[in-house]
Amino acid sequence: MPAPDDQRPTDLPRHVGIIMDGNGRWAAARSLPRLEGHRRGAERLIEIVDDCIDLGIGTLTVFAFSAENWKRPPEEISGLFKLGEWVLRAHLARLERRGVRLRVIGDLAAMPDFVRRPLEDAIAKTRDFTAFQLVVALNYGARQEIVAAARRLAEDVAAGRQDPAQVDWAALEARLQTAGLPDPDLIIRTSGEHRLSNFLLLQSAYAEIVFASVHWPDFTKDQLRLALAEYAKRERRFGMTPEQLQTPPPA
Ligand code: FPP
């Protein structure tokens, strides 16, 4: 959570999370195959990454494939993976030029080799870049992430590395896959659905949530600006009173 005395302008989020929903419905509305919706969604993602960099947003996390998405038809799953691999191959050089550090959260080990290997290479290649962080949630579920962190904590307690009396939020947070990332300030979900669907549940505790009615392939840079304008209007209180927020913190 950003400290209330954070010196950055408060009207620009430093971490945005996006649930890119509605590719299928976008395609169905045009009598196109679902994969065409995903392809147009991938194009949109590339534009939005560029725009976030230009705007000075430090971190973008996108929900590309949920742990629950394995329930989809196998052709759609393999089409999505091929698309993801293509996007990476086609755009990695540009991401590198722009100083983008790529990270993945989720169970990458369970992904097919043709997706996992290039992603691992890209993660290693971009490790030292600091201009922008692109975090791809792939085979990701917040509950799964929390369970894995709790398991690590339990193992550390059992091995005597962690005092159970000292288990606090920082101890759990350090074992989440997002360790080291700022919490998301803004979560955007497209396609008119009003839910978080197992995305960054703990990290979003104080996030502002903006729901856009358009499907993801129609989420243009203008739509992003509308979401940012909506965010800028919100008063973030982190549990404090409006009066406390007006008072500068003690030096
Ligand atoms: C949700 O639309 C979208 C996804 C499940 C996949 C998101 C993927 C992309 C935007 C393409 C980029 C791909 C990668 C791997 C980087 P939906 O299919 O749930 O749409 P619907 O709710 O209308 O059916």
Q: Say what the pLDDT of residue 248 is.
A: 62
Quote the pTM value: 0.93
Q: Say what the pLDDT of residue 145 is.
A: 98
Question: In the chain, where are the structural domains located?
Answer: 15-231
Amino acid at 197: S
Ligand 1 centroid to Cα of residue 222, in Å, is 20
Amino acid at 127: R
Q: Say what the pLDDT of residue 194 is.
A: 98
Strand partners, 59: 15, 133
Closest ligand 1 atom to the C-alpha of 69?
5
In the 3-class helix/strand/coil scheme, how is 90-135 assigned residue by residue? HHHHHHHHCCEEEEEECCHHHCCHHHHHHHHHHHHHCCCCCCEEEE
Q: What is the rounded end-to-end Cα distance, in angstroms, of the chain?
A: 20
CATH of domain 15-231: 3.40.1180.10
CA-to-CA distance for 84 and 10, rounded, in angstroms?
33
CA 236 vs CA 133, 232, 248: distances in Å:
24, 10, 15
CA-to-CA distance for 207 and 60, rounded, in angstroms?
14
Q: Say what the pLDDT of residue 1 is.
A: 43
Is 69 a residue of the active site?
yes
Ligand 1 within 6 A of CB of 25? yes
Q: Say what the pLDDT of residue 5 is.
A: 41
Is 21 a residue of the active site?
yes
Output the six-digit token pair for 194: 């009003």
Closest ligand 1 atom to the C-alpha of 76?
18
Ligand 1 within 6 A of CB of 134? no
Q: Say what the pLDDT of residue 241 is.
A: 80
CA-to-CA distance for 8 and 24, rounded, in angstroms?
38
Query: Which of 51, 69, 156, 218 does the annotation list as catalytic?
Result: 69
Q: Say what the pLDDT of residue 240 is.
A: 86
pLDDT averaged per 10 residues in sequence order, the chain, 251 residues: 45 97 98 98 98 97 97 97 97 97 97 98 98 98 98 98 98 98 98 98 98 98 97 88 71 49
Ligand 1 centroid to Cα of residue 160, in Å, is 43
Q: CA 227: distance to chain centroid?
A: 16
